Structure 1
Amino acid sequence: MNQLKIIHDDITRVTADAIVNSANPFPICGGSTEALIFDAAGHDQLLEAREKIGYLDVCDVAHTDAFDLNAKYIIHVSAPRWNDGRSGEKTSLKFCYQNAMRKARELGCHSIAFPLLSSGIYRFPKDLALDIARESIEEFLQGDGKDCDITATIVLYDDEAVKISEALFGKIQEYIYANYVPENPQENFEALKCCSFSEEPLGDGQMADDSQMADDSQIIGESEVVAEICDAAPILSKISSKSDFDKSINELLKDPKRFKSFRKKMNEIMTDRSITNSMLARDSDVDRKVLSKINNSDSYTPSKETAIAIAIGLKLNYIEAVEFLSYAGRALSPSSKSDLIVQFFMENKELFYRENPDRNQYKVNTLNTILSTHGENSLGASRSL
C-alpha cells in the first residue's frame, strides 16, 4: 500500500530503494545536499556515472547506481530555481517530484526518499517547497501511481524546514491529548499519552516539548501565511465519556431540520460558495463517479470518509462540518485519534486555507499527509463509496 511520510534526518542515512538527488544540470557535483550525497555514495564513482548521463534540463530525471548509499538507485532530477513565482517554477517543481516517482516505479522501487527539492541554494521558500512536495507526491500516489506499492518519504534536514513540520506535529499532539474523550470514563490518560503519540526522536534526537516548538510565526514560514492556532474549545468539550457523545450525536441526527437529503445540502453549499464540481473533486479527492452517484439519488448515503472529504472540499470549518456530516448520519468521534486530527484540521482552517489556489492547502491531500505523519490511515476518499 502506497503512502507518504515526512521524517527529520540526513538523507544519506536513510534506507530506501531510491534516493533522489537534486542535481546540478551539468554533470558535476554541486553544493548543498548534492555534495552530501556524492560524499556518502563515493564521490569519484558517482561522478563517473553522472558524467555518462550528461546535461539534464529542468524536470529531467535519470538514474545511477547508489554505490555506497543504503539504496539501489540514485534518481537525479534537475530542479528549478526560485524566481518569485513568475516563471512557472512551482509547476516545474511539481513535475520534478512526479517524474522522479514515475522513474522509481519504472525501476520497480517500493520506497523512495526525497530531500526538499529547490529549497537550498535554489531559494524556494521553505513552506512553499514543503507544500508542493506533499501535494505533488500525494497527487501521484492517488492518481497515476495508485496501483503501485511504493512508500515516499520527504526527508527534512534544514533547521527551518524541520521547525515548520515539528511545530505543527507538536500542536496536533497537544490537541489530541487535550480533547480526547475515552470510550470508558475510567480510562487512564497517562496510558493514552504513551500509546497514542509517536515517540520517535524529532530533529536532534530529543523528544519535542514546549521549549523545542517554534513560535506560531514559524509554523508556516512566511508572515503572510501565518495564522495563530485557534484555542476555541470544541463543541463537544464538555462531554466526559463516549456514551455522552453518542447521546448528543443521536439527538442531532434526529433533529427534523436534518431531514433534507445529503445531496441537497451539498448542492446548496456549492451554490452559496460558487464551488463547481471540478473544484470539489479536486480539493476533496473524491472520484467524479462517486460525486455523480451522490447527485443522482436523494437516498444515497456516502461513507464517513467520503462525507468528511466532501466537507473539506466545500471549505467547511469544524462547526459547519458537524452539521453537514449529520445529513449523512455521520459524526467525528472524540474517542478516535484519527477523527481528532480531522477536527484539528477543520478548527484551524486558517492555517491551511488561502484564496490563492497555488497556496491553498485546505484539501484532503494535505490532511492525508498529516494523518500519515501521525501514524493514521488516510481517508482514501477517491476509493470510498
Structure 2
Amino acid sequence: MIDITKLTKYIEANFVDEESTEEKGENLFSLNSNPLIDFARKIAWRGNARPFSGMSPLKHPGFKNIEKKLKTPGSEDFISRLIFYINEKNMTHPQVYTAAGMTPDCFSKIMSGKTKTPKKETIVSLALALELNYDEAIDLLSSAGQTLCGFKQDVIFEFCFKTGPYSIDEVNEALVHFHFEPIGGRQ
C-alpha cells in the first residue's frame, strides 16, 4: 500500500507546476516534440540561459554527432529493452500483460512493433508489471524516447519506482487520489 502522506510530501518537494512554468515562458515539453530538443530546453532554462537564440539546435554541428550516437546499432530500441527485462525478471508474456492491465492484443502490437511509440503511461504500466526499480524504469522509458519530468503524475511514478515495488492497482489508487486517470486499461 502506498503511503499517501509520504507521497504528498514527495510531490510537494519534487513537482514542477505545469501552469506556472508556462506563465514564465518555460513551456518545456509538447506532445509531438523531439525529446532531444525538449531536454536541451529544460537544461537551458534551469541554467537561466535562453535556449536556441540565433541557431536552431538541429543545425548546430554537434547535434549530428548526438543524433548519430543515438542511432548506432549498440543502442537498443524499446522492444529489445522490454524483452531484456522480461527475461531478466523471468516472466512470461501473459504474466507481464496481465500485471500491466493490458489486453493480449495490445501487448502483441507493442512486441511486434505495430505500435511505433507506446505512450509513457503504457511504458510505466509495463515497468510496474516487471517490478522495475527507478533506474531500470528510466532505462526502459528512455529506450522509447520518453522520460519522467517534474510534473505531478511523473513525480507519482518516480515515487512508486523509488519506494516500490507496487502493483498497478496500488499506483492507480494513488493516481486517482491526486485526480489523474488510472493507467494500464484498468478503470
1:345 aligns with 2:160: yes
Find 1:303's aligned residue among 113, 119, 128.
119
Residue-by-residue CA offset, 1:258-312 (whole Å, 9 max, x unaligned): 7422111111111121011121012111221111011212872211111111111
Aligned equivalent of 2:88: 272
Supply the AA of the counterpart residue of 2:185: S
Give the letter for the 1:371 counterpart: L
Which residue of structure 2 lines up, in the alignment, with residue 281 of structure 1? Answer: 97
Confirm or deny that 1:363 pairs with 2:167: yes
Say if 1:341 and 1:371, in contact at 8 Å, map to a contact too: yes
TM-score by length of 2: 0.67
Give the Cα–Cα distance (whole angstroms) in 2 for the partners of residues 289 and 318 of structure 1. Answer: 27
How many residues are matched? 149
Q: Quote the residue 1:138 is aligned against.
A: none
Structure 1 or 2: larger helix share? 2
SS in 2 for 1:260: coil
For 1:316, the aligned partner's letter is L
Query: What secondary structure does 1:370 align onto?
Result: helix
Answer yes or no: is the 8 Å Cα contact 1:270–1:314 preserved in 2: yes
Show the counterpart of 1:178.
13
In structure 2, relative to structure 1, the CA distance for the partners of 1:342 and 1:274 (3 Å cut) is same
The amino acid across from 2:176 in the alignment is S
Unaligned runs of 5+ in 2: 25-40, 47-65
Matches within 5 A, 1:149-160: none
Contact residue 262 and residue 298 of structure 1 kept, 8 A = no
SS of residue in 2 equivalent to 1:376: coil
Q: Secondary structure at the match of 1:181?
A: coil
Q: Structure 1: which 5+ residue stretches go unaligned?
A: 1-130, 132-164, 188-241, 354-361
Partner amino acid for 2:158? Q
1:377 — aligned with what?
181
RMSD: 3.3
- In the alignment, is the contact (CA less than 8 A) between 2:109 and 2:115 conserved in 1? no
Q: For the Cα contact (< 8 Å) 1:308–1:325, is it kept in 2?
A: yes
Q: Which has more strand, going by share of residues?
A: 1
C-alpha contact 1:264 1:298 (8 A) present in aligned 2: no
When residues 333 and 382 of structure 1 are mapped into structure 2, their CA distance, relative to the original with a 3 A threshold, is: same
Q: Which has the larger radius of gyration?
A: 1
Cα-to-partner distance string for 1:231-264 (whole Å, 9 max, x where unaligned): xxxxxxxxxxx722999xxx7xx74577422111
Structure 2 partner of 1:156: none
Deviations 1:60-92 (A, max 9, x none): xxxxxxxxxxxxxxxxxxxxxxxxxxxxxxxxx
| One-letter code aligned to 1:172 | L
Separation (CA, whole Å) in 1 of partners of 2:99 and 2:128: 7
Say which SS state the counterpart of residue 382 (structure 1) adopts.
coil
d(CA) in 2 for partners of 1:175, 1:245: 25
Deviations 1:167-189 (A, max 9, x none): x22111110111123553997xx
- Indicate the structure whose relative CO is greater, using CA pairs within 8 Å and at least 6 residues apart: 2
Tell me, yes or no, if the aligned pair for 1:285 and 1:309 is still in contact at 8 Å. Answer: yes
C-alpha deviation, 1:317, in angstroms:
1.0
Identity of counterpart residues, as a percentage?
26
Amino acid in structure 2 at the alignment position of 1:341: I
1:244 aligned to 2:43? yes
Aligned to 1:300, the other structure's residue is in SS state coil
SS of 1:315's partner is coil
State how far apart, in whole Å, the 1-side matches of 2:112 and 2:82 are. 13
Q: 1:246 & 1:288 partners in 2: Cα distance?
A: 42
